[in-house]
A and B are shown apart, each in its own frame.
Chain A
Amino acid sequence: MILPFALRDVSYLHIIKPLSLEIIPGPSTIVLGANGAGKSVLLRLMHGLLAPSSGTIRWSGADAARRQAMVFQRPVLLRRSAVDNVVYALKLAGVPRAQRMRQALEALESVGLASLAPRPARVLSGGEQQRLALARAWALHPEVLFLDEPTASLDPTATREVERVIQAFDAAGTKIIMATHNLGQARRLGDEVLYLHQGRVLERAPVDRFFSKPATPEAAAFIKGELPWA
């Protein structure tokens, strides 16, 4: 187990002000905030793609980098077949060659892409590409899955399909840490909310309480302003 993990006085340039928080296994954590609030940077700091300007991030277990995965707003897929994209990730994860294809196909099956396995990844639709990115993460059986606005450029149908996969991760015991703009999505998928405002965590609350009784005027304004598009 690599959870819980803790940030101690972590800052990044002027974007994230020094913050400390602990992330425990279990509840799905939704990172909310306006554009430029620092959501993406916070996820990248946690995932290790960015090095904090100050402070430390401490995971409970060893080999933490291998036991987490991240899905980005725009999936980066290689110019090879859908299944080979997953095989590639398994290879990097050190899975023996003989097991890669079977595990990759299982992962595609679990996101409903089994029939598209031999298709070139880059010609799939936006929603299928994002589900392929999720399958690639799924194959790695991560303990923690970071998602950075995974449905921001998808239509409602594709969004629903992606949300279903995220729920399957949650059901399988993967810790979800997701940044989103979609407040409806936050309610559907989240258990707790981290509300970021100008690089600070202004609120951390269970989803229901965050939306019904926001504790800060900034969060209240954010909820009001965002709701029409939720």
Chain B
Amino acid sequence: MESMTEALRGALRLVAGADPGLGAIVLLSLQVSLSAVLLATLLGLPAGAALAVGRFPGRRALVVLLNALMGLPPVVAGLFVYLMLSRAGPLGELGLLFTPGAMVIAQTLLIFPIIAALCRQAVEDAWREYEEQLRSLGASRVGAASTIVWDIRFSLVTAVLAGLGRASAEVGAVIIVGGNIDGVTRVMTTAIALETSKGDLPLALALGMVLIALVIALNAAAWYVKDAAQRRFG
């Protein structure tokens, strides 16, 4: 119990003092996770929408697979990207392993299924409501799909937030492909794991507090924007 309060006190000192080492770690975490969310959103929304309105053989299997991949263990995603990027791997020449780029790729792989699957469900539900009207107006399937994605954009914020939550919380993928190299690929989650195992509980706790605060702030901002827009547009 004593060590707990002590750790907490130390953590607060670190946060309040805006420790520069801490700042760099926080910044890299944000860069990696937000880049991954951006990429996965750009890929996942069109993929989800296509899967929602498309009719082709194997579609059901793809839907099931995508839903299953929402539960992809981060270490498995990390391992897969590691094999791809390692020197002997097919993409080894890019020299990306143990760089922030590799971490972005691994997290993108991890959260793409989440964003695509949630988008697929949302667009499919909306499609039932919009289909007759859009077909009556002469919209093509692709045109209708993009119209719907734009029209339910506020609901899709939740899908993107789910991806962000996953990206900012996971440690398994980034530690495998990033290596937790100090000053290069150390992010909040990998640092927490490391400092905890080293026994530096104040730093681990400080990072944990910052991480949770950031996630809450991002979610609050997204919710606020979504809520305001929804009240405006109905």
Chain A interface (Cβ within 8 Å of chain B)?
44, 47, 49, 65-66, 69-70, 72, 75-76, 78-80, 88-89, 92-93, 120-123, 136
Contact = CB atoms under 8 A, between A and B. Distances in A.
Given A44-B132, A72-B132, A72-B133, A93 B147 contact: no
B136 A79 contact: no
B138 A80 contact: no
Contacts of B137: 69, 88-89, 92-93, 136
A94 B129 CA distance: 24
A56 B152 CA distance: 37
Contacts of A72: 132-133
Query: Which of B129, B132, B136, B147 is the most central at the interface, judged by chain A CB atoms within 10 Å of its CB?
Result: B136
A49 to B, nearest CB: 5
A147 B130 CA distance: 17
Interface string B112-155: 00000000000000000110111111110001000100011010
- B contact residues, range: 10 to 19
B233 interface: yes
B234 A93 contact: no
Q: List the 9 closest A-B pairs by CB distance, nearest first.
A: A122-B234, A76-B133, A123-B234, A79-B233, A70-B136, A120-B233, A92-B138, A92-B137, A79-B151
Contacts, number: 46
Interface string B219-234: 0000000000000111
B234 A49 contact: no
13 contacts: A49-B132, A49-B136, A69-B136, A70-B136, A76-B133, A79-B152, A79-B154, A79-B234, A92-B137, A93-B137, A120-B232, A120-B233, A120-B234
Contacts of A76: 129-130, 132-134
Contacts of B129: 76
A189 to B, nearest CB: 21
Contacts of A122: 233-234
Contacts of B130: 76
Given A76-B129, A76-B130, A78-B147, A49 B233 contact: no
Contacts of B151: 78-80
Contacts of A69: 136-137
A47 B138 contact: no
Contacts of B132: 44, 49, 70, 72, 76
A66 B135 CA distance: 11
Contacts of B234: 79, 120-123
Contacts of A121: 234
A65 B132 CA distance: 13
Among B137, B143, B147, residue most surrounded by chain A Cβ atoms (within 10 Å): B137
Nearest to B143: A92
Interface in B180-234: 232-234
A184 to B, nearest CB: 27
A78 B152 CA distance: 9
